[in-house]
Amino acid sequence: MLQNLKPVLIVTRREVRDQFRDWRIIFPIIALTLLFPALMNFTARQAVQFVENYGAPEIGERLIPFLLMIVGFFPITVSLVIALDSFVGEKERKSIEPLLASPLEDRQLYLGKLLAALVPPLLAAYFGISVYLIGVYWQVGWKPTPILLTQIIALTTVQALVMVSAAVVISTQTTSVRAANLLSSFIIIPMVFLIQGESIIMFWARYPILWWVIAGLLVVSILLVRTGVVHFRREELLGRELDSINFKRFGTLFIVTFVGGKRNLLDWYRDVLVFVRRELSLPMLIVGALLLVGLYIGSIVAGSFPLPPEIIEWESLGQGFVEGLDVIRLFSVVGAGQVWLHNLRALLIATVLGMFTFGVLGLLIIMMPMILLGYFMANFAAAGLSPFTFALAFIIPHGILEIPALIIAGAALLNLGAILASPAYDQTISESFIKGLGNWARVVVALVAPLFIGAALLEVYLTPRIAMLLLGG
């Protein structure tokens, strides 16, 4: 293992040395490391003084950890520029041929470049955090708890790894720095939304949730690194001269994958079932376990944020349920259509988000209904309604079809994300993704959509009657 790691470190040392010779890289790192923490210290002092004048010191105390996270994040943005330039930049400058001609393995070369793009900005981020902490302690006397400091450092590290690994993948798959910079928006925009979500968590002081964010980012970063390693081949890097999107070719590949070479509907369905049994058995077990975890998470959340007693008062529950039937158009085909379209829309959103996160965010959306069910089940259990009765009234009647549909859909989404991180020596990343999308589409059309139709009909015709019967409506 040490023998395999040594060439990686040689490449890293060479790249880092070259970076520190370039003032265009050193100056932003130094500026973001020294000047930005000073600016955040000034902001923190002014914010604390302002909110103390109005008797709200907690707001200032929650702003300081958020600024600490921002101080660690900004130097990492430099790593994006370095990573995007790592392969395609050297290719444009005609300086990568000697490195590619070396006896290094493809994975050693790739990992060396990855570490070289990661280490300097990450060290700058750690130093910036230290400067900020010293300044804010000296000015307002604030210091983080050991757990919060660990979370910030871990969050900074995994965010850097996600951005760098994604940028290096882009650098290996494009033919110009301009194209790589344009594609970087697919990294920057999701990270901006992530920072916004983390800011909400910090302002609400729900710091334990940050561990889940860190875990999710760690999974995504590992998959991104694996994607880059298994798809990097120096011959393709040198032979690729022009970026082009062949819609006709991709469309043909999608149709061929979707049809599967079958001439009639029965053979096509059999082929889809064989694919599900062979390729989705393990993903279905994983998704099923995650749905159970979602129920558990919902019950835990109910203990921390219970519903007001008047909302779940048993005497008014049945009457309130009956009054709500007219609003949501139950006992009608229109209502079934609305439920079906809602489920499909949620699945499409989960798929789009899963495309950028190897299925991680998509699985979180698929888990959300189970989290809500666990939340309401625990609240009603506290009000005297047994979990079995709740499940029989609100889950089981249509859940016998909807839950298997969720499991199959989640497994197809997980398989789509895993394809990008799987070796495909005779295909590019784009071709692998299109084939995975074709397999996802055939599973959704053949199994998930029909199951959603049946579940929607049961949900609007059968579930309300059983619920009213059990609730006394």
Q: What is the pLDDT of residue 51?
A: 64
Distance in angstroms (rounded) separating the CA atoms of residues 254 and 248: 10
Question: CB–CB of 47/60 below 8 Å?
Answer: yes
In this structure, are 177 and 272 located in the same domain? no
- Token pair recorded at residue 275: 């694919």
* End-of-domain residue from the set 184, 216, 239: 239
Q: How far is CA 185 from CA 71, 79, 170, 172, 180, in A?
A: 21, 14, 11, 16, 9
Residue 452: pLDDT band by 50, 70, 90 thresholds? Answer: very high
In this structure, are 205 and 254 located in the same domain? no
In this structure, are 170 and 194 located in the same domain? yes
In this structure, are 210 and 308 located in the same domain? no
Q: Which residue has the tokens 């349920």?
A: 321
In this structure, are 299 and 393 located in the same domain? yes
Distance in angstroms (rounded) separating the CA atoms of residues 223 and 473: 51
Question: CB–CB of 83/117 below 8 Å?
Answer: yes
In this structure, are 348 and 436 located in the same domain? yes
- Token pair recorded at residue 378: 């625990």
Q: Which residue has the tokens 């996802």?
A: 440
Each residue's pLDDT tens digit, 24-60: 667 766 766 777 777 776 776 676 666 666 666 666 6
The 8 Å CB, 24+ separation contacts for 131-136 are 131/33, 131/34, 131/37, 131/38, 131/71, 132/37, 132/40, 132/41, 132/67, 132/68, 132/71, 133/68, 135/37, 135/38, 135/41, 136/40, 136/41, 136/44, 136/45, 136/64, 136/68
CB neighbours of residue 365 within 10 Å: 18
What's the structural domain count of the chain? 2
Question: CB–CB of 435/257 below 8 Å?
Answer: yes
Q: Which residue has the tokens 């070289």?
A: 116
Q: What is the pLDDT of residue 1?
A: 53
Each residue's pLDDT tens digit, 117-138: 888 888 888 888 888 888 888 8
Residue 360: pLDDT band by 50, 70, 90 thresholds? Answer: confident
Q: Is the pLDDT of residue 240 over 60?
A: no
In this structure, are 270 and 149 located in the same domain? no
* End-of-domain residue from the set 213, 239, 265: 239
Distance in angstroms (rounded) separating the CA atoms of residues 178 and 241: 14
Each residue's pLDDT tens digit, 430-441: 778 888 899 999
* End-of-domain residue from the set 193, 222, 239: 239
Distance in angstroms (rounded) separating the CA atoms of residues 464 and 314: 17
Q: How far is CA 368 from CA 20, 298, 314, 462, in A?
A: 46, 9, 25, 23
Distance in angstroms (rounded) separating the CA atoms of residues 186 and 170: 10
Residue 231: pLDDT band by 50, 70, 90 thresholds? Answer: confident
Each residue's pLDDT tens digit, 310-344: 666 555 555 555 555 554 556 778 888 888 999 99
The pTM assigned to this predicted structure is 0.76
In this structure, are 252 and 222 located in the same domain? no
Burial grade of 95 (CB within 10 A; 0-12, 13-18, 19 or more) = exposed
Least confident of 45-49, 106-110, 272-276, 427-431: 45-49
Each residue's pLDDT tens digit, 144-179: 888 989 999 999 999 999 988 888 888 887 777 777
Q: What is 379-436 written as a DSSP string?
A: HHHHTT--HHHHHHHHTHHHHHHHHHHHHHHHHHHHHHHHHHTS--TTS-HHHHHHHH
Domain that holds residue 464: 247-471
In this structure, are 180 and 126 located in the same domain? yes
* Residue whose C-alpha is closest to residue 77's, from 18, 121, 24, 132: 121
Q: What is the pLDDT of residue 57?
A: 61
CB neighbours of residue 25 within 10 Å: 18
Question: CB–CB of 374/299 below 8 Å?
Answer: yes
In this structure, are 216 and 254 located in the same domain? no
Report the length, in residues, of the chain: 473
Burial grade of 21 (CB within 10 A; 0-12, 13-18, 19 or more) = exposed
Q: Identify which has the larger pLDDT, 356 or 329.
A: 356
In this structure, are 267 and 380 located in the same domain? yes
Q: Which residue has the tokens 């307002």?
A: 140
In this structure, are 42 and 102 located in the same domain? yes
Q: What is the pLDDT of residue 313?
A: 59
For residue 253, the Cα-to-chain-centroid distance in whole angstroms is: 27
Q: What is the pLDDT of residue 446?
A: 92
Quote the mean pLDDT of the chain: 81
